Structure 1
Amino acid sequence: MKTIDRKGFLKTLGLAGVTAVAAPILIRCGSDDDITDTTTGSSSGSGSSSGSSSSACSVTNSETEGPFPTKSPSTLVQTNIVGDRTGVPFTIAITVQNINASCANLQGAIVDIWHCDKDGNYSEYGGTTMQTADYTSYHFLRGRQTTDANGKVSFTSIFPGWYQSRATHIHVHIYNSAGQSLLVTQIAFPEGSDSAVVQVASSTGYKGMSGYTYNASDNVFSDGTSNEMSTITGSVSAGYALTHTIKVSA
């Protein structure tokens, strides 16, 4: 069993070009300092926070799929991905556009998403020193949908937590209608004193902001988030809604 430094691992993958991970890699979601190869801020107010988005018709940045990709995404065709998790209510709306059609909305694209729970743990992994909470037989906070005529998919979830060395984020893998991979990317969250990230982290059940890694220092987002930044509206009491557009070459 070989242990390597987290930053070294990400650099080896190649942040701008990696679209898949050859084999599942287990990592302690609450502590990203080490990886074990097992071969297996700004905001627009307390009620609304939004990030900048690129108007250029170019492919959204590709990112590492990470050590926790969904193992059998075709079995998780669902819009409600909450499972047994608790947290602040959260809806996710993603629009997929095709740069080869002047960024027209892309119908029929397959969209997989996954993210950690409020404690920073992922389903389908765990029971090791890397993630002591064993969720290997659980499938929460993972889902697949196909874009409609407006290029849109929607999911019902809970607001993600965070874990060491990573800012709050959502993983996305997009395929064409034939199942061929088009893009692996991640969705970034706006930051700032009144942002949803801060408000949620300070709410009941979440762990606060002590030790939080901001986008600028995140190994994945440190090269910029201009076309990966989401828009988030809402409140802790009413729940939050995320909207985001991802551009692919289809």
Structure 2
Amino acid sequence: MKTIDRKGFLKTLGLAGVTAVAAPLLIHCGSDDDVINSSSSSSGSSSGSGSSATGCSVTNSETEGPFPTKSPSTLVQTNIVSDRTGVPFTIAITVQNVNASCANLQGAIVDIWHCDKEGNYSEYGGTSMQSTNYTSVHFLRGRQTTDANGKVNFTSIFPGWYSGRATHIHVHIYNTAGQSLLVTQIAFPEGTDSAVVQVGASTGYKGMSGYTYNANDNVFSDGTFNEMSSISGSVSGGFALTHTIKVSA
């Protein structure tokens, strides 16, 4: 997937990924490297390390590209696996409102998407940016609405990685009226016993040769303190991710 200069291309887009409203960007915007807010560096050393940011401030905004979901309203589902295979993975996201002292936010619409174990995204492909053509399928994408506890849950597979990026999940959050509140990304803890390393050695995954760590990632290199998830579990039993995202609603 490393072909055109994704970094340079995305930087020409400025804040487009952040100001997007209910209809996601349809432009093939290149590499995920446009970080809006800076933060201090933090990465876990084990599969269960990493935590949500302390305090009550909005989670960093990030680019929506390069492969945002084209019609998220058609993918209201908790199980986003489709035909993909990989290490079992559950995702639990809590959304909080900084305008209400970070109380849990009910009724927020949460879209997520991530690549498969080979680093490919659905809905795109057949181009220099991603050679494998998955334009007609919609795996590893889903939408849910937060419950009374501000929470959504998804069943997936552990994401793979691709050149220039650490393991990550894309998230776009809207209010109940469909207005965009935040586009961000979820970072994964790293280290010798981390889930990323354990999964990398699993069948079908790429391993860690050529992996881009958070410190050198196009998006996360300026810090991950409010984008870092917590992950627990094992390859045999599957992993579970928990993360809190704070928005201004």
Q: TM-score, structure 1 length as denominator?
A: 0.88
- Find the aligned partners of 1:163 and 1:181 in 2 and give their Cα distance: 27
Which residue pairs with 1:77 in the alignment?
Answer: 76
Q: Within 5 Å, which residues of 2 pair with 1:133-212?
A: 133-212=132-211
- Find the aligned partners of 2:19 and 2:80 in 1 and give their Cα distance: 23
Q: Within 5 Å, which residues of 2 pair with 1:41-120?
A: 42-44=44-46, 48-120=47-119
Is the alpha carbon distance of 1:78 and 1:122 closer, same or farther for their aligned partners in structure 2, counting shifts above 3 Å? same
Which residue pairs with 1:5 in the alignment?
Answer: 5
How far does residue 90 in structure 1 lie from its aligned partner after superposition? Answer: 0.1
> Percent of pairs identical after alignment?
85
Which residue pairs with 2:216 in the alignment?
Answer: 217
Aligned-partner residue type, residue 160 of structure 1: P
Q: Contact 2:25 / 2:64 at 8 angstroms: preserved in 1?
A: no
How far does residue 209 in structure 1 lie from its aligned partner after superposition? Answer: 0.4
Aligned-partner residue type, residue 76 of structure 1: L
- Of residues 20, 24, 28, the one that matches 2:27 is 24
Which residue pairs with 1:38 in the alignment?
Answer: none
- Find the aligned partners of 1:222 and 1:109 in 2 and give their Cα distance: 29
How far does residue 134 in structure 1 lie from its aligned partner after superposition? Answer: 0.9
Aligned-partner residue type, residue 130 of structure 1: M
Is the alpha carbon distance of 1:14 and 1:229 closer, same or farther for their aligned partners in structure 2, counting shifts above 3 Å? farther
- Find the aligned partners of 1:128 and 1:5 in 2 and give their Cα distance: 14
Output one character per residue of 1:34-90: Cα deviation in whole Å (capped at 9) or x when no partner: xxxxxxx5323xxx4221432110000000001100000000000000000000000
Is the alpha carbon distance of 1:62 and 1:165 closer, same or farther for their aligned partners in structure 2, counting shifts above 3 Å? same
Q: Within 5 Å, which residues of 2 pair with 1:121-136?
A: 121-136=120-135
- Find the aligned partners of 2:132 and 2:206 in 1 and give their Cα distance: 16
How far does residue 6 in structure 1 lie from its aligned partner after superposition? Answer: 2.2
Which residue pairs with 2:40 in the alignment?
Answer: none
4+ residue segments displaced more than 6 Å: none
- Find the aligned partners of 1:247 and 1:66 in 2 and give their Cα distance: 20
- Find the aligned partners of 1:249 and 1:18 in 2 and give their Cα distance: 13
- Find the aligned partners of 2:7 and 2:123 in 1 and give their Cα distance: 23
Aligned-partner residue type, residue 202 of structure 1: A
Is the alpha carbon distance of 1:16 and 1:215 closer, same or farther for their aligned partners in structure 2, counting shifts above 3 Å? farther
- Find the aligned partners of 1:17 and 1:85 in 2 and give their Cα distance: 27
Output one character per residue of 1:150-169: Cα deviation in whole Å (capped at 9) or x when no partner: 00000000000000000000
Secondary structure class of the residue paired with 2:220: coil
Question: Where do 5+ consecutive residues of structure 2 fail to align?
Answer: 33-42
Q: Contact 2:167 / 2:188 at 8 angstroms: preserved in 1?
A: yes
Q: Contact 2:95 / 2:247 at 8 angstroms: preserved in 1?
A: yes
Secondary structure class of the residue paired with 1:137: coil
Q: TM-score, structure 2 length as denominator?
A: 0.89
Q: Contact 1:231 / 1:243 at 8 angstroms: preserved in 2?
A: yes
Is the alpha carbon distance of 1:201 and 1:15 closer, same or farther for their aligned partners in structure 2, counting shifts above 3 Å? farther
- Find the aligned partners of 1:43 and 1:202 in 2 and give their Cα distance: 17
- Find the aligned partners of 2:164 and 2:74 in 1 and give their Cα distance: 30
